[in-house]
Copies of this chain bind each other. A is one copy, B any other.
Amino acid sequence: MPIYKAPIEDSLFVLNDVLHVERYNNLPGFEDATPDTIEAILGEVGKLAEEVLQPLNEVGDKHGCVWTEGEGFDNTVEVPPGFQEAYDLYSEAGWGSLPFPEEYGGQGLPATLNAAVQEYVSSANMAFGMYPGLTAGAAAALIEHASEEQKQMYVPKMLSGEWSGTMNLTEPHCGTDLGMMRTKAARNDDGTFAISGQKIWISAGEHPMSSNIIHLVLARIEGAPEGVDGISLFICPKFLLDGDGNPGDRNKLSCGSLEHKMGINGNATCVMNYEGATAYLVGEENRGLKAMFVMMNEARLGVGVQGLAQSEVAYQNAADWARERIQGRSISGVKYPDLKADPIIVHPDIRRVLMTIRSFNEAARALVYWTALRSDLHHRSEDEEVRQSANDLMGLLTPVVKGVITDKGFDSTVMAQQVFGGTGYTKDQGVEQFVRDARIAMIYEGANGIQALDLVGRKLPSKGGRAVQAYFKEVGKFCSAHKDDDAMKPYIEPLSKGLADLQAATMWLVQNGVQNPDNAGAASTDYMHLFGLVAFGHMWGMMAKAANDKLADNANGQTKFLENKLLTGKFFMERIMPESSAHLARIQTGCDTMMAMAAEDF
């Protein structure tokens, strides 16, 4: 039976000691986020995650969701045992409303804090977390783009969990390339639309846990232009609302079947069939894709959190196993003479694996919170310059958070599984589920190759490179400020080297990517991972500084905790940061070799 303990002390360290969220108490919502409140909130959600959600994780995987054919549109999907009760607890405690504006029933708390909350939920039960997660994504889209009337009608009941939400983008023949979308919206006489078409891979598309499901659907209005400029966004509820705003008539849409997947079996991944379903336009006609993309940064941050979350829970289980499992003796001499063998944590190669995962988890957590704080600053600051700069940085780092954290998070689960040896391959310890669940995060919400292209093709050149220049300046300033501090040397020197590699790669892209865009494509994934190394290194620099400062102060009873932070950061700098030069070397070889072979020869 897998274990999970919410890493509250680590979260608090980042929020309070590294990011100093209390310094932002001039922002709306932050005034309530005092250290005490934050600790209380994380304690509460930690309890829910550990005691309710985590015990349902294997249940969800084994039981899965069950589709049953029904009359007319009433095909049903049964969720795993216990999910309904967990959903009710989650909703009643208000976890679905935490970062949303109070005017729509939200609590107005920082997105930064919500990132921590979502990490715990996702570590405990990723498939479960996707139900409220999709609702939050749909609610965010409505808050950003819907009319005031629509918002009042839908959002409060979504935030309370009474209703849930989904996002319908993909069709069988189009995923990344939404311009080829075929789902049609016909105009009804009353100003509503009738949607017809098939959407696939709709997470939480059908389930009995909420009394209505608000589908957000992308479709093409009759006569709209070809391509991405002819796509509109619609609200298409499972039950149409009656005059009192309550679920009334059944809408003409149904779940045609469930996908059979590698993992996240507890979540219902649906084929959705729309057969003249009544729908309401959100925002302007033909601007649907743009509307979706505006809120995609937040959704992608959420997927990055999933990558971190699976890595964290996999780490905890592997560390636990490594302490318990006795096998062989330390090569540097017996360490536990009273036992028949040493616990495998004595072996350097096991520690290398654990430290690799741990040094990733802590940096990824800091980076997620740091990026979420940019989102809060962007949405809540009154200073236009602060808002713009925060938005630039959030946009720049989003593909890094999504792409790198889900890639590396998956690698972590595989490494953690390896610590278990043969047991890790069986279903006995639950660790192989982490691998299967984590795998999806690299794919959905824009496959990681698309994240890399978004970074080099869109975010880098945007506004003359304003965002990336600001980012380099910030990291460079950090290095300059601490380069003469002996205690910071083990962190600053490798970070400076990584930054120099990233700057060289950026320069190479500027010189070669414009002349031949395939050079940019050929460099994209390596560039994204090189960027990730620097971003993690920057976080480790900040964490080392905070740990050193606190140790020099009174450590607040955390001496060991802080010393371990410094050790973990040092490991990152010694063992992970050196990858930067390999990325740079690869980038600089360009696209010629990979583009030379004929398609039919592959």
Contacts and interface: CB of A to CB of B under 8 A. Distances in A.
Copies of the polypeptide in the assembly: 2
A595 interface: yes
B341 A177 contact: yes
Interface in A578-596: 578-579, 581-582, 585-586, 589, 591, 593-596
A261 B595 contact: no
A343 to B, nearest CB: 7
A447 B425 contact: no
B578 A421 contact: no
A319 to B, nearest CB: 4
A317 to B, nearest CB: 11
A422 interface: yes
A388 B464 CA distance: 64
A176 B345 contact: no
Contact of A421 (B348, B447, B560): B447
A177 B570 CA distance: 32
| Among A200, A345, A346, A443, residue most surrounded by chain B Cβ atoms (within 10 Å) | A443
A332 B418 contact: no
A416 to B, nearest CB: 12
A519 B525 CA distance: 33
B426 A259 contact: yes
A579 B341 CA distance: 36
Contacts of A260: 426-428
Given A327-B176, A331-B520, A564 B349 contact: no
A328 interface: yes
Contact of A418 (B262, B341, B449, B579): B449
| Majority DSSP secondary structure for residues of A touching B | helix
A202 B314 CA distance: 26
B525 A567 contact: no
B589 A574 contact: yes
A263 B358 CA distance: 27
A594 B571 contact: yes
A457 B602 contact: no
A444 B425 CA distance: 10
Interface stretch (A48-56, A145-153, A237-245, A433-441): A433-441
A113 to B, nearest CB: 26
Interface string A519-542: 111101100000000000000000
A332 B593 contact: no
Nearest to A586: B575
A452 interface: yes
Contacts of A421: 175-176, 443, 447
A516 interface: yes
Contacts of A600: 323
A330 B453 CA distance: 12
B348 A594 contact: yes
A392 to B, nearest CB: 23
B444 A439 contact: no
A340 B345 CA distance: 55
A518 interface: yes
Given A435-B262, A457-B331, A349 B522 contact: yes
Nearest to A517: B331
Given A327-B175, A439-B425, A522 B567 contact: no
Nearest to A449: B349
Nearest to A452: B349
Contacts of A352: 522, 525, 594
Contact of A582 (B176, B259, B582): B582
Interface string A552-573: 0000000010001001101100
Interface in A23-63: none
A529 B437 CA distance: 27
A372 to B, nearest CB: 26
Given A331-B517, A582-B579, A591 B348 contact: yes
A206 interface: no
Interface string A348-383: 111111110010000000000000000000000000
B348 A522 contact: yes
Interface in A334-348: 340-341, 343, 345-348
Given A261-B427, A425-B261, A524 B180 contact: no
26 contacts: A176-B421, A177-B341, A261-B426, A261-B427, A262-B426, A322-B602, A331-B517, A331-B518, A345-B599, A348-B524, A348-B594, A349-B525, A351-B522, A351-B595, A352-B525, A355-B594, A355-B597, A418-B443, A421-B447, A424-B443, A425-B439, A567-B593, A570-B593, A574-B589, A578-B582, A581-B581
> What 4 A-B pairs have minimum CB-CB distances, sorted nearest first?
A348-B521, A578-B585, A574-B589, A348-B522
Interface of A: 170, 174-177, 180, 200-201, 259-263, 319, 322-323, 326-328, 330-332, 340-341, 343, 345-355, 358, 410, 414, 417-418, 421-422, 424-428, 432, 435-436, 439-440, 442-444, 447-449, 452-453, 457, 516-522, 524-525, 560, 564, 567-568, 570-571, 574-575, 578-579, 581-582, 585-586, 589, 591, 593-597, 599-602
